[in-house]
Chain A
């Protein structure tokens, strides 16, 4: 290729000359008038809107920044809305009590009464066992075994049920003492007049104190509602407000340690009896491994499965058989 191509060629000049020869001035004048009239009718775009390559609006450059700001604001709001509830898992004592008493009202309020399953609980977890205290506030007597439990409200994002959910419900009758419940199960519990035998540990004491204080404030705001019973039932409701996964872990820990009273409390609150841990071990397995016949018997009596297998492929039956403890086997119903 040479520069000759870029230089004017005789054929180019011939074409220009030909166009000049054929030029029609009249047609050109008519065309001019028509084009200029059409242009005059069309609005001219303002420079600010068309000089986009030179003056780009700031929002175009910062579009991603705006999106990130909105996302960050959403996270901030979500954190401030939900974190206080997670840090404060304890609810007012009156709320669950009222909820229990107002069971029939739940349907009319559109509240789901289905059993809940906390996040992290496997799907094979059986439905919660009947809660002995569920019917107690209504009748002030121990609940029969075939009474259908009132399931707690489904937790939303692991948030305990808010006490304001049932503000106008009537006050319930006091639930039966824990010892009464335990007596039905086989007299494994101590002193019936002990109001607080079922919870142990400093943290639970703090829970009680906070719960009572908040409950008192609620009572003060509802002057027409009679005073609730003392602290012992309140502690149970407070515990029921905790996430089920925590309660299942507590159940397994109590089974491993042989803490019968705590087991009773947790089972009475409807904690699923066969919820496994990360290794697939259930509370019954832990009680068998730790050789706590009483705890194993209690769990078996609440329907704990002997054949549920952990990740190692062992069932409670296998573990008990391997141990060869006659008392343990008898507690599990495996002995002669």
Chain B
């Protein structure tokens, strides 16, 4: 993803000044990763709320455009921080209890399957399996994985967005990857 933080800040500033096209340009840059992040965070059981939360996120971006300080964070970090809070607020409203996964340690012990993941997702069916596996990750791991893989945020930015340390972020990312490899390995075994 080609990110230009200066341009993002300029677009936000222009939007605050009344430029009707600036916000649309900014939206087009981050629409896809933002929606996928929200949908991935919500999981399959709350996928219906993805559209609404996505819209709420961008409304918040618009209303608080003047509060964005490019010296403190890049725009995508700010955007996904807001999106993450929207998801957590949704879970809070729905009284969803977020539990840590008990399979984290087991996932770490899974060996890397032979074929590369890219080779496995060439079909639409396998792509859906992988997306489902991401959505089945524990919430904390899911957020870190999507922000890192899809959005391209650095570990430090993810740490700031999630309010945890860099080491914790690394650990969550590692667990998420291991779990997804395990899911792909199981999928390969069923296809063989």
Interface size class of A (residues with CB under 8 A): 35 or more
A15 close to chain B: CB less than 8 A: yes
A45 and B63 contacting across the interface, CB-CB below 8 Å: yes
Of the candidates B145, B154, B170, B174, the one whose C-beta lies within 8 Å of that of A15 is B145
A42 and B69 contacting across the interface, CB-CB below 8 Å: no
Q: A11 — which chain B residues lie within 8 A by C-beta?
A: 117, 149, 177, 180-181, 184
Q: Which of A32-40, A234-242, A253-261 is the interface stretch?
A: A32-40
B130 close to chain A: CB less than 8 A: yes
Q: Which residues in chain A, 1-29, are within 8 Å of chain B measured between CB atoms?
A: 1, 5-6, 8-19, 21-23, 28
> Once the chains are docked, how many angstroms separate the CA of A39 from the CA of B31?
14
A31 close to chain B: CB less than 8 A: yes
Q: B66 — which chain A residues lie within 8 A by C-beta?
A: 44-47, 49-51
B1 CB to nearest A CB, Å:
9
Of the candidates B58, B63, B117, B173, the one whose C-beta lies within 8 Å of that of A43 is B63
Smallest CB-CB separation from A46: which chain B residue? B66
Q: Which of B2-10, B88-96, B121-129 is the interface stretch?
A: B121-129
Q: B16 — which chain A residues lie within 8 A by C-beta?
A: 44, 47
Among A8, A16, A19, A42, the one with the most B-chain Cβ atoms within 10 Å of its Cβ is A19
B78 close to chain A: CB less than 8 A: no
B130 and A14 contacting across the interface, CB-CB below 8 Å: yes
Say whether, besides A16-B149, A18-B128, A35-B58, A42 and B118 are in contact (CB < 8 Å): no
A54 close to chain B: CB less than 8 A: yes
Among B66, B120, B155, the one with the most A-chain Cβ atoms within 10 Å of its Cβ is B66
B55 close to chain A: CB less than 8 A: yes
A44 and B15 contacting across the interface, CB-CB below 8 Å: yes
A42 and B127 contacting across the interface, CB-CB below 8 Å: no
Smallest CB-CB separation from A36: which chain B residue? B24
> Once the chains are docked, how many angstroms separate the CA of A47 from the CA of B174?
40
B23 CB to nearest A CB, Å:
6
> Once the chains are docked, how many angstroms separate the CA of A11 from the CA of B167?
20
Q: A193 — which chain B residues lie within 8 A by C-beta?
A: none
B27 and A5 contacting across the interface, CB-CB below 8 Å: no
B27 and A35 contacting across the interface, CB-CB below 8 Å: yes
Q: B24 — which chain A residues lie within 8 A by C-beta?
A: 36
A15 and B149 contacting across the interface, CB-CB below 8 Å: yes
Say whether, besides A6-B170, A16-B150, A17-B121, A50 and B51 are in contact (CB < 8 Å): no
A203 close to chain B: CB less than 8 A: no
B69 and A45 contacting across the interface, CB-CB below 8 Å: no
A21 CB to nearest B CB, Å:
4
Interface size class of B (residues with CB under 8 A): 35 or more
Q: What is the interface of chain B mostly: helix, strand, loop, or mixed? A: helix
Contact with A along B21-39 (1 / 0, CB 8 A): 0011001100110011000
> Once the chains are docked, how many angstroms separate the CA of A16 from the CA of B117?
11
B59 CB to nearest A CB, Å:
5
> Once the chains are docked, how many angstroms separate the CA of A34 from the CA of B54?
10
B11 CB to nearest A CB, Å:
13
A31 and B149 contacting across the interface, CB-CB below 8 Å: no
Q: A16 — which chain B residues lie within 8 A by C-beta?
A: 149-150
Q: Which residues in chain B, 124-180, are within 8 Å of chain A measured between CB atoms?
A: 124, 126-128, 130-131, 134, 145-146, 148-150, 154-155, 167, 170-171, 173-174, 177, 180
A32 and B59 contacting across the interface, CB-CB below 8 Å: no
A38 and B59 contacting across the interface, CB-CB below 8 Å: yes
A53 close to chain B: CB less than 8 A: yes
> Once the chains are docked, how many angstroms separate the CA of A243 from the CA of B93?
67
Smallest CB-CB separation from B169: which chain A residue? A5
Smallest CB-CB separation from A5: which chain B residue? B170
Q: A39 — which chain B residues lie within 8 A by C-beta?
A: 23, 27, 58-59, 62
Among A35, A36, A45, the one with the most B-chain Cβ atoms within 10 Å of its Cβ is A35
Smallest CB-CB separation from A44: which chain B residue? B16
B174 and A5 contacting across the interface, CB-CB below 8 Å: yes
Q: B103 — which chain A residues lie within 8 A by C-beta?
A: none
B175 CB to nearest A CB, Å:
10
Give the B-binding residues of A (Cβ under 8 A): 1, 5-6, 8-19, 21-23, 28, 31-32, 34-36, 38-40, 42-47, 49-54
Q: 7 A-B residue contacts at CB 8 Å? A: A6-B154, A11-B181, A13-B117, A21-B124, A38-B55, A45-B67, A50-B67
Name the 6 nearest CB pairs between A and B, nearest first: A14-B117, A12-B149, A47-B66, A18-B127, A21-B127, A50-B67
Q: A14-B184, A17-B118 given. 15 additional CB < 8 A pairs?
A: A1-B170, A5-B173, A10-B117, A11-B177, A15-B146, A18-B126, A34-B55, A36-B27, A39-B23, A39-B58, A43-B63, A45-B64, A47-B66, A50-B64, A51-B66
